[in-house]
Amino acid sequence: MAKVAWVFPGQGSQAIGMGVDLAVLPLGQERLAAAEEILGWSVLDIVQSADDKVSNTLYTQPCLYVVESILVDLLKAQGHQPDVVAGHSLGEYVALYAAGVFDFATGLALVQRRAELMAQASDGMMAALLGFDAEALAAKIEATPGVVLANDNNPGQVVISGTPEAVTAVMDGVKAKRAVKLNVSGAFHSPLMADAAAQFAQALEPVHFSVAQVPVLSNVDPTPTTDGAVLKQRLVQQMTGSVRWREITLALPELGIDRVIEVGPGNVLTGLTKRTCRDLALVNVGNLDQVNGLAV
């Protein structure tokens, strides 16, 4: 029998209208109502806002968490279970929820606090680079103070993060097929997030992390573990640490994974995974039709 990994996308995968079809179900209605109690605003209102409110960090992260968590619950209700889970940046919170590390409300409260802190982070800049010489990029980052590799997504795509001057210097100094400044409020996954990370650690400290029901591969350490204390410590490090997605993807075949299901809107992770491990079977589950169409 095939072994399956569930992976969860993060910021950048949001889309206007995502999750609206889930609101017709009792489970969806229940989760959306619970979310509004916690957040103080309606996820459905935000995702249906024509002015793309869902792409504001303050709203993006909670909305993605809610929509992806509902998809998790629907999949499990139909008898699906993952053998391993992982999530990209914000998606790691959904992975922990899917693994039973904390409940829906606890995860959402953490995500809301994370989004508030990250939305306030006005210093710094991020940029995506595609099609580059890895050695040349590593050397340029090493020689440029104030910039780090924030997302190691796959062999042909990375994101750098740091001060505007340092990020621009790397963009100008490394030949790439494409280099694009990202529309984000700060230098996420870099040391510039240290103050926000320290504040978030205070919110995280009293939260109990249960033993995971399936192994979790964390962004800052792709070594699979079910230890709640270890997973919590890795989450503390996540805001300033790199997202090691390429290594997570490479670890999946070594764990015997044959099939990867991207649970959430879009197909960003499917595209990244395809470039790294071509032999994995890839499936997207981002709406109700795709949930219902997934064979047990």
pLDDT number for residue 73: 97
pLDDT number for residue 122: 73
Domain finish residue from 164, 181, 198 = 181
Where residue 141 sits, what CATH number does that domain have?
3.30.70.250
Q: What is the mean pLDDT of residues 253-268?
A: 96
For residue 213, is pLDDT > 90? yes
Q: What is the mean pLDDT of residues 187-204?
A: 94
Catalytic residue numbers read: 89, 189
Domain finish residue from 139, 158, 181 = 181
- In three-state secondary structure terms, 80 is coil
My answer on whether 39 and 173 are in the same domain is: no
Query: Is the Cα dihedral 161, 166, 169, 173 positive or negative?
Result: negative
For residue 282, is pLDDT > 70? yes
My answer on whether 147 and 232 are in the same domain is: no
Tens-digit pLDDT profile for residues 220-255: 999 999 999 999 999 999 999 999 999 999 999 999
My answer on whether 206 and 247 are in the same domain is: yes
pLDDT number for residue 296: 62
pLDDT number for residue 31: 97
For residue 261, what is the enclosing H or E element?
strand 257-263
pLDDT number for residue 100: 98
Note whether 10 and 88 are within 8 A (CB).
Answer: yes
Domain finish residue from 134, 159, 181 = 181
Side chain identity at residue 141, one-letter code: I
For strands 257-263 and 3-8, give the pairing: parallel
> Considering its fold, how many domains does the chain have in total?
2
Q: What is the mean pLDDT of the chain?
A: 95
* Alpha carbon distance 114, 88 (integer Å): 15
My answer on whether 57 and 7 are in the same domain is: yes
My answer on whether 200 and 91 are in the same domain is: yes
* Alpha carbon distance 122, 105 (integer Å): 28
The reported pTM is 0.96
* Alpha carbon distance 57, 54 (integer Å): 8
* Alpha carbon distance 216, 111 (integer Å): 18
* Alpha carbon distance 217, 272 (integer Å): 16
For residue 212, is pLDDT > 90? yes
For residue 1, is pLDDT > 80? no
Distances 105 to 65, 87, 160, 258, 266 between C-alpha atoms, Å = 11, 18, 32, 32, 24
My answer on whether 167 and 286 are in the same domain is: no
pLDDT number for residue 121: 81
Note whether 193 and 125 are within 8 A (CB).
Answer: no
pLDDT number for residue 186: 87
My answer on whether 53 and 100 are in the same domain is: yes
Side chain identity at residue 233, one-letter code: Q
Q: Which domain holds residue 153?
A: 125-181
My answer on whether 90 and 112 are in the same domain is: yes
My answer on whether 84 and 159 are in the same domain is: no
- Angle at the Cα of 106 from the Cα atoms of 104 and 112, rounded to 5 degrees: 100
My answer on whether 286 and 218 are in the same domain is: yes
My answer on whether 113 and 140 are in the same domain is: no
Where residue 202 sits, what CATH number does that domain have?
3.40.366.10
My answer on whether 134 and 173 are in the same domain is: yes
